[in-house]
Amino acid sequence: MIYQFSAQRTLDTLVAQAQGPFEAWTFDDRAARRQAEEQLAARGISARIRSAYKPLLHFFLEEARPGFTAAHILWPHHEAAVPNRFLLETYPLAALYPDATMTFEKGASGTCYQVRLTYPDGEEQHDVLAPNRLHADHVGEQVLSPTGWLIDDAGAVRLETDYEQLFHGAMSAVTAHDWGDQEPYFEELNISATVPAADFDLGYDDEVVSLVEALHEDLYFSCLEFFQRHSGRDLGDRHLQPGQIVPEVQQGDTAQISVTMRPYHTADRGGVAQPLEQATAPLSIAEIGAELEKIGGDAFRTTSRAGREVLAHHHAGRGKPVMISAGQHANETTPVVGALRAAHRLAREEADFVISPMENPDGYALHGRLAALTPRHMLHAARYTALGDDLEYRATPRALYEKAIRQEAEQRSGALLHINLHGYPAHEWTRPMTGYIPRGFAMWTVPKGFFLIMRHLPDWAGVARQLTQDVTQRLMDVPGLADFNKRQIDLYRLHAGETGFEMINGFPCYIHEDDRHSVPLTLITEYPDETLYGAAFIAGHDAQMHTVLAAHDAWQRLGSV
């Protein structure tokens, strides 16, 4: 045991110690905050307890008088924060009030929103405080983070909440531990925690307010950042191999956390068989293997760091070969189904291709394990391998493990086009204890539709652009996909600004030269799929499948340089 801690619940402390009226901001769900207010009211004490997490959103949900026809929001800015930080925190307000005109404008420096609500009977002005503190984080970076707050007769002070104590206590224990200097430092670093706050479904797309999920994300990426610095690397370096970092965070009655080291879990991901075309949830490893057998071709395999099998098939046939891969980031689950569906169709056409539908089975098994606790969470702890690295960046010839399957796929096929299927969060991604916006992943914090990234070697720019043009032209014909993109991109622009991508046939695209790959062309899909199930999951793997087929067909028509 490295660390174990149970926090006194902040709401209980406020109720027990209150002597007079006050306002407070805590990391708790609405029901718990209202219950505390009622307990205080029964003692004759007037109190208002607000959410320290996304306070403007909660102002609209809990305090704004219904019936407004327009809302104009002046969002604050702070020199220690990303310029659009407080604008991002308003997401997804505009989608929640479709009958009102919602406008946003950069306001004054500080941490207070100014809101003007227009009603048929007049206007109202409101100031909405967003309590934050400037502090040095676990790697010594200065960050502006949401925090608890208390205003009473004595004045206004920061309130260190139970939620903050869980995070900072665990990170202090991790940073103080003697890890040595030999990677990996562990097999599994397990951080088990319970948070007494229920998730709140916002009723729009996949958007959910979840303090449980936010703690998982902050713990995972903060640990990665600490080990990056501990190893002498830069923040964000994906070559790091610390081991598998596993935050098991779920809702519970108490605020508690523990940090331990464990051996690898070695069971494969299970699950019931599903009809592939209509799969409504991630597939089991057994079903992935069975579908590969149906596709046919020459099988080849390697072994992951935790001892799981990594499978691929080379289907030799007609035309120019392509590589199809999925599962590099194992919490992105629509690519697996989309790749298999496309491969079945290409096999029937006697096409030449290699398919490796689950490149990271260790991460996939962890995703299944964590999804059993919190199925609607992004679970980025399952993103990387059991070594803790991004397999694409692994370069050590003596210990390639999962990476070997991709190298053999290149050698067997001779393909010049790699179709690499990915996903990203289907709802907002935050790290509230370390500045709110995920460090190094700011462009991914809010969904912006289905988009494509095209990487190419020098001298392949023309072919790369034409291929992207042809693929997006085909994707315009996928039922509902263009409308889905427009809706998400329009909301993104309101709450975040421009996508930063080039728009090609209504799809955000990023075409750029990248010499890290040995294959001249790498087409990467990005569908907002993390946490999706049911019809939304089907729509996701449908888009993935159509992209593979469109790219394969376009590649057959295009000449090389």
- Please say whether the dihedral angle defined by the alpha carbons of residues 438, 511, 347 and 402, taken in this order, is positive or negative: negative
CA distance 84 to 90: 10
* DSSP state letter for 437: S
CA distance 180 to 189: 15
pLDDT for res 475: 98
pLDDT for res 559: 61
> Which H helix or E strand runs over 261?
strand 255-262
Contacts of 244 (CB under 8 A, 6+ apart): 186, 187, 188, 189, 264, 306, 362, 366, 381, 385, 386, 387, 388
Q: Give the residue carrying structure tokens 């999706």.
A: 532
DSSP E strands: which ranges in 130-207? 132-136, 142-146, 148-152, 155-159, 188-195, 200-201
Could you give the residue range(s) of every CATH 3.40.630.10 domain in the chain?
Answer: 276-557
* 311 in Cβ contact with 364 (< 8 Å): no
CA distance 317 to 331: 32
Report the first-to-last Cα separation within the chain, whole angstroms. Answer: 58
pLDDT for res 398: 73
CA distance 104 to 494: 7
Count Cβ atoms below 10 Å from residue 511 Cβ, excluding itself.
19
CA distance 532 to 536: 6
Count Cβ atoms below 10 Å from residue 23 Cβ, excluding itself.
15
* 551 in Cβ contact with 322 (< 8 Å): yes
Count Cβ atoms below 10 Å from residue 495 Cβ, excluding itself.
22
Contacts of 397 (CB under 8 A, 6+ apart): none
Contacts of 264 (CB under 8 A, 6+ apart): 187, 188, 244, 305, 306, 307, 362, 386
* 347 in Cβ contact with 315 (< 8 Å): yes
pLDDT for res 498: 85
| Pair of tokens at residue 357 | 């539908």
Q: What is the CATH number of domain 276-557?
A: 3.40.630.10
pLDDT for res 561: 47
pLDDT for res 515: 87
Q: For every one of its 561 residues, what pLDDT tens digit does the chain have, with 9 covering 90 and above?
A: 999 999 999 999 999 999 999 999 999 999 999 999 999 999 999 999 999 999 999 999 999 999 999 999 999 999 999 999 999 999 999 999 999 999 999 999 999 999 999 999 999 999 999 999 999 999 999 999 999 999 999 999 999 999 999 999 999 999 999 999 999 999 999 999 999 999 999 999 999 999 999 999 999 999 999 999 999 999 999 999 999 999 999 999 999 999 999 999 999 999 999 999 999 999 999 999 999 999 999 999 999 999 999 999 999 999 999 999 999 999 999 999 999 999 999 999 999 999 999 999 999 999 999 999 999 999 999 999 999 999 999 987 778 999 999 999 999 999 999 999 999 999 999 999 999 999 999 989 999 999 999 999 999 999 999 999 999 999 999 999 999 999 999 999 999 988 889 999 999 999 999 988 889 999 999 999 999 999 999 999 999 999 999 999 999 998 654
Count Cβ atoms below 10 Å from residue 439 Cβ, excluding itself.
19
| Pair of tokens at residue 23 | 């306002």
| Pair of tokens at residue 314 | 């080379």
- pTM metric for this prediction: 0.97
Collapse the DSSP code of 214 into the 3-class scheme (helix H, G, I; strand E, B; otherwise coil) and give the result: helix
pLDDT for res 396: 79
Closest CA to 508 of 550, 544, 475: 475
| Pair of tokens at residue 252 | 């519970």
Q: Where are the alpha helices (DSSP H) in 54-121?
A: 55-62, 85-88, 93-96
